[in-house]
Structure 1
Amino acid sequence: MKYEKILIRFGELSLKGNNKMTFVRKLASNISKICNVDLKHIDIMIDRIFIPYSIENLNNLNYVFGISSYSPVFQLNSNLDEIEKLIQKIDFAPHKNFKINSRRKWKDFPLSSLDLNIHLGNFVLKNNKHLTVKVKDPDIEVNIEIHKNFSYIFWEKIKGLGGLPVGVSGKTIHLLSGGIDSPVAALEMIKRGVQVDFLAFISPPHTDETTIKKLKLIVDLITKYQIKSTLYLFNYTEIMNYIGLTSNQKYKIVLMRRSFYRIASSIALKTHCLGISNGENLAQVASQTMEAIHVIHNQSLLPVYQPLLTLDKIEIISKSEKFNLFPISTIKACETCELFAPNHPATKPSIDVAQALEEELDLLQGLEEKAINNNIERLFFKINSKIDIK
């Protein structure tokens, strides 16, 4: 017995109405790139996609958003004798009960789905006297799909990542730190079909090479899920030092993060992004209270998306481990926000105070504009490409 293909299901896409096939074709394109399978070898149906079977393809589907589940399948002619011969080869010995689940997609097949269930159920019982039929939660559920040209038999169902195909929902600039939250938030955005570009603020010489390597490793891993990524490394040292001169030290982080959103907005508009996303988690730190978020986001020219806003830390860590991000995110590094944090940051800042402090720092806007033009290094990541991470 030899698997021929992998059957791919896409539950949420079935709700897309007249736009469904646009989403399905995008999913097929993403599968082609992530699994490195030529599109001409991918069969697209109204509620199914089939790709050639291989262990490598089976493993790579773990990185494809937009899939509800998938199964390695046996392919055979839509002929009852051939179906019986293949079912006869299934090893039912380890199981106490079973279920036959048929779907007759080709209506000219001589048996209806119900009749085929009964016929094949009796066929299995005849050859396996120890078995009983169990409709709910059987030890093994044998699925048969009858199509015009071929039929497919399978009993393994692997849970997919769900969500939407990457690229169907526009693009964001994602504020990336080397911590646990922001990489997970990026993948949550990608799960909803968003293409994510990354913006990281570094402050050499305080930001060491380990920190930059860590950022590259994070983006390289996330690229496996979204095919291509851009990382903007923004040298923030001069601006950070200037904001450090503020007359109200409690507002340093607030002023710095307001600056982040002005810069992110400028980059986003130039690169046709439709929003800014981040890993903010409500009330986790001083800059993420409702008051602080209100004051900081006031500077964004685009919507700000916060997919982790209401999750607790245990939930976020669980997601980080699921996506294999946790070992990278816990590498010790020097991050700009941590270096700059005052001992007693403002937890309930006001826009009026923040604006007054920015007026005192009258060179701030000019420094930001200068840095946007001169202090950004762009790094490009592509799936299945070797990235030089030094």
Structure 2
Amino acid sequence: MTRQEPQECVLLKYGELALKGRNRGLFERHLLQAVEHAMRTDGEQVRISRREGVLVLSHGLPRHELMERAVHVFGVSVVQPALRTACDVGAATEAVLLALAGKYGDHDRGARTFAIRARRRNKTFPMTSHELAAHIGERVRDVHGWRVDLGQPDVEVVVEADKREVFVSLERHRGQGGLPAGASGRALVLLSGGYDSPVAAHRAMRRGLRCEFVHFSGAPYTDPSSTYKAYALLRELDRYQGRSRLHVVAIGKAQRALATAGAGKLQVIAQRRLMVRLASELARELNAQALVTGDSIGQVASQTLSNLATVEQASSVPVLRPLLTWDKSEIIAEAERIGTADISALPDEDCCALLAPPRVATRTGPGEFEGIEGRVELAELVPKLLADAQVLTVGGTRSQAGPLA
């Protein structure tokens, strides 16, 4: 690399990962895998270089596309487009002037203020951070005539001296933060077609959970619209982890069996217990350590504290509820931010409304369901329903041939 050949790149900076102690290496490996997956391309490979607390992306894709992919990677706090150049004062100065010329013109002399923020990760660099900032600042003032303002400048230039190169940046973008996918284990998300569960899935993935997904349809008594919505939602969520799978379980006949067994006003809770029982058994098969739901206290009758406890007791693994204290407006706002709201707003035939009674019990206990669940013979029903499940993979094909449920 020479002074005449600064290269475009993108810096990915850690957030929470930087605070990790002895197990930081584990989190960094998961982050590297997540970035490698996000940057995968059929053409030239993106080069990923590791620095202290920083990943450097270059080649393979245009810089704007590198940034677009990087902002969806959990574990990355800052996405920073940059120029990289040789590790000396002259090269750093020329790279700053080149970056400014690219954005403002060669000799822009508008009434702007600026600041140079210099940092040495390489302490053998011949100038201190303050000296480097002063040296470059003087050249910028000579060329552009701008005034220095270290408080609230119009233009902020970041110069970072590493062991082998210097990085120059004029802007920085907020990343997803959180922890990289898989760093905290595996979970199974109960994904409906509504607003809540996709947002809950996003929050779970942001905490480092690698997620599988299960969707319950009311087939054969409902049409496939809820499954289509769930799959569309999964395509949006897949941007954050890749290689996502949706297990589709048709429970319409099981719901009718519960109603026939005399569930009455307990029907909705009985259905929820069935879903959680199925999901926990599927989680065991998938080596997932927890379930994730979009429950929010008091949002609907089935989500009273009493009913939530009754439903959870049907699970053999922990049930995580990231949105437990969120209200609906907060959930919808977050759905809009992560890109799932428009899909969730589409109409569908939701299995939860199938055979729902006029009034839903708000205070229940597990003992009330022993007779009902015994009459439908859940021990035999659960494995049969799971055996008939379909598996849809984002960008792939479906297994378990048959019409979509």
Relative to the length of structure 1, the TM-score reads 0.93
Note if contact 1:28-1:39 (Cα within 8 Å) is conserved in structure 2: no
Tell me the equivalent position of 2:120: 104
Q: Compute the displacement of 1:45 (Å).
A: 1.6
Q: 338-347 or 286-295, which moves further after superposition?
A: 338-347
Note if contact 1:281-1:311 (Cα within 8 Å) is conserved in structure 2: yes
Note if contact 1:6-1:73 (Cα within 8 Å) is conserved in structure 2: yes
Q: 187-196 or 101-110, which moves further after superposition?
A: 101-110
Tell me the equivalent position of 2:277: 262
What are the ranges of 5 or more consecutive residues in structure 2 without an aligned counterpart?
none
- Find the residue that maps to 2:176 and give its secondary structure: strand
Note if contact 1:211-1:335 (Cα within 8 Å) is conserved in structure 2: yes
Tell me the equivalent position of 1:325: 340
Tell me the equivalent position of 1:190: 205
Q: Compute the displacement of 1:148 (Å).
A: 2.4
Tell me the equivalent position of 2:134: 118
Tell me the equivalent position of 1:168: 183
Matched letter for residue 66 of structure 1: G
Equivalent position to 2:17, from 13, 18, 26:
13
Q: Compute the displacement of 1:134 (Å).
A: 2.0
Matched letter for residue 72 of structure 1: P
Q: Compute the displacement of 1:2 (Å).
A: 6.9
Residue 60 (str. 1) matches residue 60 (str. 2): no
Q: CA offsets, 1:117-138, max 9 Å, x none? A: 2222233223333x32222332
Equivalent position to 1:312, from 315, 324, 327:
327
Output the CA distance in 2 between the equivalents of 1:219 and 1:31.
19
Output the CA distance in 1 between the equivalents of 2:391 and 2:355.
24
Matched letter for residue 12 of structure 2: I
- Find the residue that maps to 1:18 and give its secondary structure: coil
Q: 291-300 or 36-45, which moves further after superposition?
A: 36-45
Tell me the equivalent position of 1:87: 96
Note if contact 1:171-1:274 (Cα within 8 Å) is conserved in structure 2: yes
Q: Compute the displacement of 1:255 (Å).
A: 0.9
Tell me the equivalent position of 2:47: 41
Output the CA distance in 2 between the equivalents of 1:372 and 1:337.
18
Output the CA distance in 2 between the equivalents of 1:95 and 1:50.
34
Q: 350-359 or 339-348, which moves further after superposition?
A: 350-359
Residue 28 (str. 1) matches residue 32 (str. 2): yes
Output the CA distance in 1 between the equivalents of 2:122 and 2:220.
67
Residue 368 (str. 1) matches residue 368 (str. 2): no
Matched letter for residue 125 of structure 2: F
- Find the residue that maps to 1:173 and give its secondary structure: strand
Instruction: Give me the identity figure in percent.
Output: 29
Output the CA distance in 1 between the equivalents of 2:183 and 2:274.
30
Q: Compute the displacement of 1:97 (Å).
A: 1.3
Q: Compute the displacement of 1:250 (Å).
A: 0.8
Matched letter for residue 98 of structure 1: F
Q: Compute the displacement of 1:308 (Å).
A: 0.9
Matched letter for residue 67 of structure 2: L
Matched letter for residue 235 of structure 1: A
Taking only aligned residues, the RMSD between alpha carbons, in angstroms, comes to 2.2
Tell me the equivalent position of 1:378: 391
Q: CA offsets, 1:265-316, max 9 Å, x none? A: 1111111110011111111001111010011101111110011111111211
- Find the residue that maps to 2:368 and give its secondary structure: helix
Output the CA distance in 1 between the equivalents of 2:398 and 2:383.
30
Note if contact 1:95-1:140 (Cα within 8 Å) is conserved in structure 2: no
Q: 363-372 or 141-150, which moves further after superposition?
A: 363-372
Q: CA offsets, 1:203-238, max 9 Å, x none? A: 223321322221211112211211111211111122
Aligned pairs, how many? 385
Note if contact 2:264-2:357 (Cα within 8 Å) is conserved in structure 1: yes
Output the CA distance in 1 between the equivalents of 2:208 and 2:95.
39
Note if contact 1:220-1:381 (Cα within 8 Å) is conserved in structure 2: yes
Q: Compute the displacement of 1:158 (Å).
A: 0.7
Note if contact 1:230-1:379 (Cα within 8 Å) is conserved in structure 2: yes
Output the CA distance in 2 between the equivalents of 1:198 and 1:257.
16
Q: Compute the displacement of 1:177 (Å).
A: 0.5
Matched letter for residue 19 of structure 2: L
Q: Compute the displacement of 1:77 (Å).
A: 0.8
Q: Compute the displacement of 1:82 (Å).
A: 2.0
Q: CA offsets, 1:38-83, max 9 Å, x none? A: 8882101221000116222111112211110111111111121222
Residue 275 (str. 1) matches residue 284 (str. 2): no
Output the CA distance in 2 between the equivalents of 1:42 and 1:126.
36
Matched letter for residue 180 of structure 1: Y
Note if contact 2:7-2:85 (Cα within 8 Å) is conserved in structure 1: no
What are the ranges of 5 or more consecutive residues in structure 1 without an aligned counterpart?
none
Note if contact 1:381-1:387 (Cα within 8 Å) is conserved in structure 2: no
Matched letter for residue 123 of structure 1: R
